[in-house]
Structure 1
Amino acid sequence: MPESDDGTPGLTIADPKIGDYLLNTEHPEGGGKAKFFLAHGFGSDVPDLFLASLFAHARPSHLAGEQATGFGTKFVYEGPMIMPDGSTWRIRSVWHRPLGETRRFLVTAYPF
């Protein structure tokens, strides 16, 4: 599982979140998100670029809110993300920190 190495503590993205979900046009829930991200230059052939962009997006200045749930804490980040094609879009990313865990795991990301 890749983790942020830019000094932001505890951000983790499970490998399947990228290739099997956010960049998979055939995924029933992620297909539309995949079409968006692929159209703007991200690709499953270079997942590290997408990972780095998602980690950079989840910076403290983009934190829009957090909410305690029965399973942990949900964190919502909103802000600009520069795409490989040079465009900039407002993206919302959602991360979850399970009870008893220090890491935040990516749940989803999409334009809004």
Structure 2
Amino acid sequence: MGFEPDTWQILAEALREHGRTHEIVRAYETGFGTRSIVEGELNTPDGRRPRVRSVWQFDEGTIAPRLITAYPLEDS
């Protein structure tokens, strides 16, 4: 997909953009806060746009979510 370890910031920004621009497909409460699942295409350096699921959590008492995990969907 064109992401490189030396430029991990590009992947981090692509994941943040993914979380901001795609709809939440499911949200549920955990013992730590609200967890949201987001699905959609991920912008990549080489131009491919794989469908990815990312999971974000709003911990109690925070105003910004943190990334839990992200992985390609099987239909990609």
How many residues of Structure 1 are paired with residues of Structure 2 in the alignment? Answer: 73
Q: Which one-letter code corresponds to 2:26 in the other structure?
A: G
Q: Give me the whole-angstrom Cα distance separating, in 2, the residues matched to 1:64 and 1:100.
A: 23
Q: 1:89 aligns with which of 36, 50, 57?
A: 50
Secondary structure of 2:50's counterpart equals: strand
Calculate the TM-score normalised by the size of structure 2: 0.85
Secondary structure of 1:67's counterpart equals: strand
Q: Which one-letter code corresponds to 2:71 in the other structure?
A: Y
| Structure 1 gaps, min length 5 | 1-39
Counterpart residue number, 2:68: 107
Q: More helix per residue: 1 or 2? A: 1
Q: Which one-letter code corresponds to 1:80 in the other structure?
A: E
Q: Give me the whole-angstrom Cα distance separating, in 2, the residues matched to 1:61 and 1:49.
A: 18
Q: 2:24 aligns with which of 45, 57, 63?
A: 63
Q: 1:49 aligns with which of 10, 17, 23?
A: 10
Calculate the TM-score normalised by the size of structure 1: 0.60
Q: Could you tell which deviates more after superposition, 65-74 or 53-62?
A: 53-62
Secondary structure of 1:59's counterpart equals: helix
Root-mean-square deviation over aligned CA pairs:
1.3
Counterpart residue number, 2:40: 79
Q: More strand per residue: 1 or 2? A: 2
Equivalent pairs: percent with the same residue? 37
Note closer, same or farther for the CA distance 1:60–1:82 as it changes in structure 2 (3 Å cut).
closer
Secondary structure of 2:53's counterpart equals: strand
Q: Give me the whole-angstrom Cα distance separating, in 2, the residues matched to 1:67 and 1:42.
A: 31
